[in-house]
Amino acid sequence: MAFKLDINGKAAVVDVDPEMPLLWALRDGLGIRGPKFGCGIGACGACTVHLDGEAVRSCSMPVSSIEQGKVMTIEAMASDPIGRIVQDVWVELDVAQCGYCQPGQIMTATALLKRQPNPSDADIDEAMSGNLCRCATYRRIRAAILQAAAKISEKKA
């Protein structure tokens, strides 16, 4: 079945089983490989994308459920004002180790900073709790989010 999607600001069509998870429609149907397969049950966060600005798990979301929603992936973050700041800080602080989980971490962090530009440690813990990192880069992730928040507030001043 053909589905018209809005991916990274562009119209896209995928012809797939309605139950196919969005992750596979993106990766196999559209060649968008930033979102990663981790657990397949929405428990690790490696597949995180934005759906209408919310961080969602694309591995456990059927493509038929997207409807008119706007999907953004890590591929679009370089041209997103907040996503760009987050990515730059991630590089500056050398957050990634193996890197596998990091697209999902950045997507969740960016969604957090968009709704809460000045998060507390507790806000960060809560927002990021569903994004696992086998390399345990959690301290650098927290530092990067705090630094990104400081840069966002500098820009607003």
Q: Which residues bind ligand FES (CB under 6 A)?
A: 96-102, 133-135, 137
For residue 101, what is the DSSP state? T
Q: Which two tokens stand for residue 156?
A: 């607003």
Nearer to ligand FES, 101 or 127 (CB): 101
Minimum Å distance from CB 24 to ligand FES?
21
Q: Which is nearer to ligand FES, 44 or 63 (CB)?
A: 44
5 vs 107, beta carbon nearer ligand FES: 107
Least separation in angstroms between residue 42's CB and ligand FES is: 17
Q: How far is the CB of 62 from ligand FES (least distance, A)?
A: 26
> Looking at beta carbons only, is 8 or 105 nearer to ligand FES?
105
Helix (H, G, I), strand (E, B) or coil at 6: strand
CB atoms within 10 A of CB 68: 8
CA distances from 152 to 37, 84, 108 (A): 30, 11, 16
In angstroms, give the least distance from the CB of 144 to ligand FES: 12
User: Are the C-beta atoms of residues 76 and 45 closer than 8 Å to each other?
Assistant: no
Structure tokens at 99: 């890197």
- The whole-angstrom distance between residue 90's C-alpha and the CA centroid of its chain comes to 14
